[in-house]
Amino acid sequence: MKYGEHLKANIAPEYGEENYLHYERLDQIITQLTETKPSRAVETSRVVSMTAPPQTNAQGLDTSKINITEEDFLKLLESDMQKVEVFTLSQVTDLRHKILGTEALLKQTDGKGDPTWDPIVLEENADEIAEDFLRLEKYVNINFMGFHKILKKHDKRLPNLACKEFYVNRLHAQAWVRGDYSDVVVRLSNIYAALRNDNQAEENQDASQSFLRSTTKYWVKTEDVSRVKYAILRHLPVFLQKTSTGESDSQFTNSVYLDNDQLELYHGRLDKTPGAIALRLRWYGPGDPKLVFFERKTHNETWTGDVSVKERFTVDESEVQQVLTNTYPIAEKKQAMLESGTSQKEADEWETLVREITQVIVSKQLVPTMRTQCMRTAFQIPFDATVRVSLDTNLCMISERGYELEDMKVWHRDSSWVLEPNEIHRFPHAVLEIKLELGGGSLTPPKWVTDLQNSGFLYECHKYSKFVHGCAVLLPEDVRAVPYWIDDVSLRQSIVDSQAQRILADATVGVGPGANQVYNHLLPFGTTVNDRSLTAVGRTNADRNASKGLVGDKAPLLGAITTGANFYADEDGDDYGEDEEDISCWPFPFCSRQNYVLDGPLAPTSIQKIEPKVFFANERTFLHWLHHGVILSTIASGILSFSHETGAGWGQWYALALLPISLSFCVYAVHIFLWRADRIKTRIPGRWDDPWGPLMLGSTVAIVLFCNFIVKLVAISKMDLM
- Measure the CA–CA gap between 523 and 544, rounded to whole angstroms: 25
- pLDDT confidence of residue 295: 93
Q: Are residues 538 and 442 in the same domain?
A: yes
Which helix (H) or strand (E) segment holds residue 438: the answer is strand 430-438
- pLDDT confidence of residue 615: 82
Backbone angles phi, psi at 298, to 5 degrees: -115, 125
Q: How far is CA 615 from the centre of its chain?
A: 26
Across 484-499, average pLDDT: 87
Percent of residues, the chain, with pLDDT higher than 90: 29
C-beta of residue 226 within 8 angstroms of C-beta of residue 131? no
Nearest by Cα to 594 from 551, 573, 564:
564
Task: Pick from 52-61, 343-352, 438-447 the range whose average pLDDT is largest.
Answer: 343-352
Percent of residues, the chain, with pLDDT higher than 70: 74
- pLDDT confidence of residue 589: 35
- Measure the CA–CA gap between 167 and 560, rounded to whole angstroms: 34
What's the pLDDT band for 366 if we cut at 50, 70, 90? very high
Across 546-551, average pLDDT: 34
- Measure the CA–CA gap between 604 and 651, rounded to whole angstroms: 60
- pLDDT confidence of residue 358: 94
3-state secondary structure at position 149? helix
What's the pLDDT band for 533 if we cut at 50, 70, 90? very low
Residues, the chain, total? 722
- Measure the CA–CA gap between 82 and 76, rounded to whole angstroms: 10
What's the pLDDT band for 5 if we cut at 50, 70, 90? confident
pLDDT digits (tens, 9 = 90+) for 594-629: 333 333 333 444 444 566 777 888 899 999 999 989
Q: Are residues 302 and 325 in the same domain?
A: yes
Q: Which CA distances in Å does 601 have to 520, 544, 598?
A: 22, 11, 8
What's the pLDDT band for 55 if we cut at 50, 70, 90? low
Instruction: Specify which residues 426 forms β-bridges with.
Output: 396
Query: What is the 3-state composition of the chain as percent helix, strand, coil, each rounded to the nearest 5?
Result: 50, 15, 35
- pLDDT confidence of residue 38: 57
pLDDT at 592 over 50: no
pLDDT digits (tens, 9 = 90+) for 67-109: 678 888 999 999 999 999 999 999 999 999 999 998 888 888 7
- Measure the CA–CA gap between 58 and 42, rounded to whole angstroms: 9
Average pLDDT, the chain: 78
Q: Are residues 203 and 311 in the same domain?
A: yes
Which helix (H) or strand (E) segment holds residue 381: the answer is strand 367-381
Instruction: Specify which residues 396 forms β-bridges with.
Output: 373, 426
- Measure the CA–CA gap between 714 and 722, rounded to whole angstroms: 13
C-beta of residue 186 within 8 angstroms of C-beta of residue 240? yes
- Measure the CA–CA gap between 255 and 468, rounded to whole angstroms: 13
Q: Is residue 553 part of a domain?
A: no
Q: Is residue 218 part of a domain?
A: yes
Please list the alpha-helical segments (H only) found in 519-648.
544-548, 612-646
Q: Is residue 411 part of a domain?
A: yes
What's the pLDDT band for 506 if we cut at 50, 70, 90? low
Give the contacts of 657 (CB within 8 A, at least 6 positions apart): 704, 707
Across 463-477, average pLDDT: 92
- Using the 3D structure, point to which of 130, 153, 179 is the last residue of a domain: 179
Q: Are residues 686 and 540 in the same domain?
A: no
- pLDDT confidence of residue 447: 87
- Measure the CA–CA gap between 534 and 540, rounded to whole angstroms: 7
Q: Is residue 327 part of a domain?
A: yes
Q: Are residues 149 and 135 in the same domain?
A: yes
Q: Is residue 556 part of a domain?
A: no
Largest CA distance in the chain: 132
For the CA atoms of 140, 143, 144, 148, the dihedral, rounded to the nearest 10 degrees, stands at: 170
- pLDDT confidence of residue 278: 93
C-beta of residue 445 within 8 angstroms of C-beta of residue 436? yes
What's the pLDDT band for 432 if we cut at 50, 70, 90? very high
Peptide bond between residue 445 and the one before it cis (omega within 30 degrees of 0): no
- Measure the CA–CA gap between 427 and 114, rounded to whole angstroms: 48
C-beta of residue 589 within 8 angstroms of C-beta of residue 139? no
Number of structural domains (the chain) is 3
pLDDT at 583 over 60: no
HSE (CB half, 13 Å, CA atoms) of 613?
Answer: 6
- Using the 3D structure, point to which of 548, 575, 592 is the last residue of a domain: 548
pLDDT at 649 over 50: yes
Which helix (H) or strand (E) segment holds residue 293: the answer is strand 291-298
- pLDDT confidence of residue 32: 84
Q: Are residues 706 and 653 in the same domain?
A: yes
- Using the 3D structure, point to which of 119, 153, 179 is the last residue of a domain: 179
pLDDT digits (tens, 9 = 90+) for 199-236: 654 444 443 333 456 788 999 998 889 899 999 988 88
Q: Where is average pLDDT lowest: 30-44, 133-147, 156-170, 273-287? A: 30-44
Between 246 and 592, name the one with better pLDDT.
246
Q: Where is average pLDDT lowest: 95-109, 480-494, 542-556, 672-686? A: 542-556
Instruction: Specify which residues 38 forms β-bridges with.
Output: 57
Q: Which CA distances in Å does 370 have to 257, 259, 263?
A: 5, 8, 11
Beta carbons within 10 angstroms of residue 126's beta carbon: 24
C-beta of residue 603 within 8 angstroms of C-beta of residue 597? yes
pLDDT at 510 over 70: no
Q: Are residues 543 and 676 in the same domain?
A: no
Q: Are residues 504 and 620 in the same domain?
A: no
Q: Are residues 400 and 532 in the same domain?
A: yes
Q: Are residues 637 and 496 in the same domain?
A: no
* pTM for this entry: 0.70
- pLDDT confidence of residue 81: 92
Nearest by Cα to 452 from 375, 550, 591, 376:
550
Q: Are residues 190 and 288 in the same domain?
A: yes
- Measure the CA–CA gap between 472 and 494, rounded to whole angstroms: 13
Nearest by Cα to 166 from 86, 74, 72, 76:
74
Q: Is residue 603 part of a domain?
A: no
Q: Is residue 53 part of a domain?
A: no
Q: Are residues 288 and 354 in the same domain?
A: yes
Q: Is residue 127 part of a domain?
A: yes
Across 185-205, average pLDDT: 73
C-beta of residue 381 within 8 angstroms of C-beta of residue 201? yes
- Domain, as residue range, for 309: 185-548
Across 171-190, average pLDDT: 84
Across 118-135, average pLDDT: 89
pLDDT digits (tens, 9 = 90+) for 6-31: 788 888 888 888 889 999 999 988 88
Q: Where is average pLDDT lowest: 280-289, 479-488, 577-586? A: 577-586
- pLDDT confidence of residue 98: 92
